Amino acid sequence: MTAPDIRTQHLTVPAPRRHESTQTGRAPLLVVVGTDVHPFDRLLNWTARWAEENGVPCVMQYGSSTPRDLPGSSAFFDHATLGTRLREAGLVVCHGGPATITEARRAGHIPVVVPRDPTLGEHVDDHQQRFAAHMGEAGMVRLCRTEESLRAVLDAALVEPEALRLDTAEAGAESAAAVRRVGDIIDSLAARLPSRHSADDVRVLFIGGWGRSGSTLTDRLLGQAPDVCAVGEVTHTWERALRDNERCGCGVRFRDCDFWGKVGEVAYGGWDTLDVEQVLALKHRVDRMRFVARLALPFWATRRKNDLRTYGELHRKLYRAVAEVSGTSVVVDSSKHASLAFALRHARGIDFRVLHLVRDGRAVAYSWSREVLRPEIVDAEVYMPTYSTVSSGLHWLVHNALFHLLDWVGTPVLRMRYEDFIASPADSLRRIRGFADLPTGKMDLLDRPAATAEGLPTAQLAATHTVAGNPMRFTTGSVTLRLDAAWRAKLAARKRRVLSLITWPLRARYGYLDWRKK
């Protein structure tokens, strides 16, 4: 199942505050279409017509749809702004995304939902329609599929507005339960959806994006669950682990690690049966950034089919062995490289899904400017590479754009901002697990009172068998989940302006254009 784009987070639920328009005396109608790349002008046109005819002020989050020149409207809202808009709204109309529906209810609304229709080019599949139908049957939303039904619901709400509001106690009590209820519906729905994959396919969750975007922490947190094995950046297995014998995340060298020894036996009959230089030569022929655009084209993939098939089979055997040795249902590969993702989308026997993790490009660039020691190298003092401001900004733009292309060519992609992940880690992990067709119930890892004076969430990390990644893959014990915002104070103003210019197109799409925080 392809899950919807997720950017909204956990919202504190104060008593709903209805903002009265000075012009009409009515609270505004809030319309939210989410962050999917497909336009949803149909919903915006329906609600705009109704609002104008009835003299109701309207605020729109219009995403990739035609921009709307309405006060307070924007392509995207950051977390704080979305919370404010929800609390001020008199009515909420939205697409069929689980996160948007959940947050609307947390803010005291029973949302009016119009699901996206893939036959009209509004989404890649019909999962929103199926999901919204289940939510409607459960009484959690008012489902509308036509303009006439939408008008009827909104007209009735003008007469009896309380019919689409939850009282404060109900909204607050639902804060924790809503996500689980949504997760239960997603699990039930996913079980009924047809799959393109065989039950024998190994399920892989690939974390994509550009480095220093939180992939290692996300990988580690996902890997704490007993049904997930997170192995770090598989793309570096051949040279860093197999050839150079660097340290596994458990602390010992790769060839001394019992886990990887068993994986090699199951996958290939032993690591020594592989010719590392031949594997690297194969990788050089198909897994390179220069080939990504062509890998998106079926005819070029056909020309390289033998190499792609061999490369895909090499990875299938590795992933399958990891799942078998660990006894898990999902393997997490945090390689991030778009070139590997495009190569593996053609692989047989792999149920390949992508978590596209993004972080503000300015924060990423600042992180890449700092020297970081690589502790996995035992015999020498080696640092991770650094990038200039311009280079980092361009890498961020290109790598993230390629994962939009991956989405467009039909690979299941869940896009999530790292800032939102840190702000609401338990909810985010549930949504990721739902996307990977895993149970989304209680998260023992995070569902506990925060242990820090600042009230921040914490997690208990056990060692995992990661082959490569950020040095924090060696961290164990209690970890505070805190967003590193040092770039705001330490990134030079000139560099910030350059990065803002380079990364502007996607920063706008991801909701990072907060001009108050220059």
By three-state DSSP, how is residue 61 classified? strand
Residues 6+ apart with CB under 8 A from 421: 214, 218, 357, 428
Whether residues 171 and 152 share a domain: the answer is yes
Residue 18 lies in a domain: no
Same domain assignment for residues 346 and 465: yes
Task: Please indicate, yes or no, if residue 286 is contained in any of the structural domains.
Answer: yes
- Which of 192, 213, 230 corresponds to the end of one domain? 192
**Would the pLDDT of 474 be above 50?**
yes
Domain holding 142: CATH number? Answer: 3.40.50.2000
More confident site: 419 or 138: 419
Q: Compute the average pLDDT of residues 82-89.
A: 90
Residue with the two structure tokens 């040095």: 471
Residue where one domain finishes, among candidates 192, 221, 240? 192
Model confidence at 9, pLDDT cuts 50, 70, 90, reads very low
Calculate the average pLDDT of the chain.
85
pLDDT at 5 over 60: no
Question: In terms of domains, do 176 and 239 share one?
Answer: no
pLDDT of residue 443: 66
pLDDT at 22: 37
Is the predicted pLDDT of residue 257 greater than 70, yes or no?
A: yes
Structural domain ending residue among the three candidates 133, 162, 192: 192
Instruction: Tell me, yes or no, whether 381 and 427 share the same domain.
Output: yes
Of 335 and 291, more confident: 335
Q: What is the pLDDT of residue 4?
A: 38
Contact at 8 Å (CB) between 422 and 214?
A: yes
For residue 515, the model assigns a pLDDT of 40
What is the torsional sign of CA 167, 419, 428, 64?
positive
Decide: 443 and 503 in contact? Cβ < 8 Å: no
Residues 335 and 460 in one domain: yes
Query: Can you give the pLDDT at residue 495?
Result: 92
> What integer pLDDT is reported at residue 10 of this predicted model?
34
**471-489 mean pLDDT:** 91
Mean pLDDT of 333-342: 97
Residue 451: its pLDDT value, please?
A: 55
Classify burial at 23, counting beta carbons within 10 Å of its beta carbon; exposed 0-12, middle 13-18, buried 19 or more.
exposed
pLDDT band at 208 (very low <50, low <70, confident <90, very high): very high
Question: What pLDDT band is residue 200 in, cutting at 50, 70 and 90?
Answer: confident
Q: Is residue 6 part of a domain?
A: no
Six-digit token string for 330: 């999902």
**In total, how many domains does the chain have?**
2
Task: Determine the average pLDDT of the residues in 282-296.
Answer: 89
Radius of gyration (C-alpha) of the chain in whole angstroms: 24
State the pLDDT at residue 301: 58
Residue 292, domain extent: 202-510
Is 118 exposed, middle or buried (CB count within 10 Å of its CB: 0-12, 13-18, 19+)? middle
What pLDDT, in 10s, does the model give residues 209-221?
A: 999 899 999 999 9
- Top-confidence residue, 30 or 138: 30
Task: Specify which residues 94 forms β-bridges with.
Answer: 32, 113
Residue 100 lies in a domain: yes
Structure tokens at 473: 């893959």
**Between 421 and 305, whose confidence is greater?**
421
When mean pLDDT is compared across 292-306, 317-331, 382-396, the lowest value belongs to 292-306
The tens digit of pLDDT for each residue in 410-453 reads: 899 999 999 999 998 988 998 899 889 888 776 666 645 455 56
Distance in angstroms (rounded) separating the CA atoms of residues 221 and 223: 5
Same-domain check for residues 187 and 266: no
In a domain, 466, yes or no: yes
Claim to verify: residue 256 and residue 177 sit in the same structural domain? no
Average pLDDT, integer, range 84-102: 91
Are residue 146 and residue 247 in the same domain, yes or no?
A: no
Compute the distance between CA of residue 85 and CA of residue 63 in angstroms, rounded to an integer: 15
Higher pLDDT, 406 or 195: 406
- How large is the average pLDDT for residues 159-179? 65
Q: List the one residue out of 137, 136, 94 whose CA is nearest residue 114.
A: 94
Whether residues 250 and 275 share a domain: the answer is: yes
Q: How far apart are CA 234 and CA 240, in angstroms?
A: 10
**162 lies in a domain?**
yes
383 and 481 inside one domain? yes
The residue type found at 377 is I
Looking at residue 438, which CATH number applies to its domain?
3.40.50.300
> Would you state the pLDDT for residue 455?
74
Inside any domain, residue 19:
no
Provide mean pLDDT across the span 183-200: 54
Tokens of 290: 């220069």
Instruction: Supply the pLDDT for residue 25.
Output: 52
Compute the half-sphere exposure of residue 100: CA atoms within 13 Å on the CB side of its CA. Answer: 30
Answer whether 207's CB lies under 8 Å from 428's CB: no
Q: Is the pLDDT of residue 183 over 80?
A: no
Average pLDDT for 86-110: 90
pLDDT at 343 over 50: yes
pLDDT for the residue 192: 46
Instruction: With beta carbons less than 8 A apart as the criterion, state whether 457 and 481 touch.
Output: yes
How far apart CA 322 and CA 202 sit, in angstroms, is 10
Which of 7-21, 113-127, 226-240 is the most confident on average? 226-240
Given a cut of 70, whether residue 143 has pLDDT beyond it is: yes
More confident residue, 98 or 313: 313
Q: What does the pLDDT read at residue 432?
A: 92
Whether 303 shows a pLDDT value over 80: the answer reads no
Asked if residue 435 belongs to a domain, the reply is: yes
Statement to judge: residues 179 and 210 lie in one domain: no
329's tokens: 């249902």
| Burial class of residue 429 (count of CB atoms within 10 Å of its CB; 0-12, 13-18, 19+) | buried
Whether 133 and 55 map to the same domain: the answer is: yes
Which tens digits make up the pLDDT trace of 34-76? 887 788 999 999 999 999 999 999 999 998 888 899 999 998 8
Element (H, E) at 331: strand 330-336
